[in-house]
Amino acid sequence: MDNLQRIGHVEPQRVLEPLTDAAWGYRRKGRFSVRFVEKKGKAVVGFRETNPRFVADLSTCHTVLPEIGARIPELAALVDSLDGKRTLPQIEFIAGEQGVALVFRHLEPMGEADRGRLVEFAKASGFAVYLQPGGIDTVHALWPEQVDLSFALPAWDLHLAFRPLDFIQVNAGLNDKMIPRALELLDPQPGDRVLDLFCGLGNFTLPLARKAGTVVGVEGDAGLVARARENAARNGLANVEFHAADLAKDLAGEPWMKAGFDKLLLDPPRAGAAEVLAQLPLKGIRRIVYVSCHPGSLARDAGFLVRERGYTLVAAGAMDMFPQTAHVESIALFEKKGA
């Protein structure tokens, strides 16, 4: 709340009870750095230290899901066994309901012997293994060829499919509490048109579509938009549409900008939503729910909405999405009477 007062010069009428979940073993997505240390004669797998030149030599990680965090030594031994161990800078992990996927980034073409070792590891561990020889578009399954990556939102009777490098909320337990909190604050009604900005795979958009009349999701990553559309179709939702747009750029030509909305939900990256809020025709939008991963940008944008757009900051609170770290998520409700 200090940031809201100090940066935005606003304060909420009420403070929401903090949302919390499991303190350990919650992280289902992340990136391990990999480095073969010549002086030690071995590969190190872990997270980067404060000095980014160094990688912490981990034997376990208690914030990561146990099925991943307890197997870091196995990953290090696997890297040690590879001919290309000096050209493998990172391993990304992501967990769905059906299991864990690992993405091995490699800077040089991977030989058949190394591919075979990775397949053996995948079969023994039960992890799905992907390779990434270049950019995001080069990610492809090594074993098995078909992988079901998805997570459920049981309260909304939804299943969301994703790809191994897609953004998903890292803390599934907290996400299951955050969505009801956001929808309770936004209070979507059957006749409402709702706009969801920075919508990703549809984490908020699709639950909103279970409640509202029409929902429009907008996201800058075209791949995520494609998956969001697929998720809407898979879940039988016909009252939702998705658009790809860079929300930090000029949006004057975007067709969805010309449509009126009753309510707005946004979940921007750390930089916040200053650019899109300055352009958005807020007339008619009675209620805004802002989910934030950076208290400073939320405070700045809250000041804009209150002082320049006539909204009232009705409520705000913290959500402990990243236990054992200094990072915190926030959520805020803005209302405008007579909009």
Query: Does the annotation mark 293 as catalytic?
Result: yes
State the pLDDT at residue 6: 79
225, 242 Cβ separation under 8 angstroms: yes
Active-site residue identified among 122, 293, 306, 316: 293
317, 330 Cβ separation under 8 angstroms: yes
Regions of the chain short of the pLDDT cut 70: 1, 338-339
* DSSP 8-state symbol, 256: G
State the pLDDT at residue 183: 98
In the chain the domains, ranked by start, together with CATH numbers, are: 2-22+171-335 (3.40.50.150), 29-143 (2.40.50.1070)
Phi, psi dihedral angles at 220 (to 5 degrees) = -80, -25
Residue with tokens 């998720």: 231
Q: Would you list the DSSP string of 214-245?
A: EEEEEES-HHHHHHHHHHHHHTT--SEEEEE-
State the pLDDT at residue 337: 79
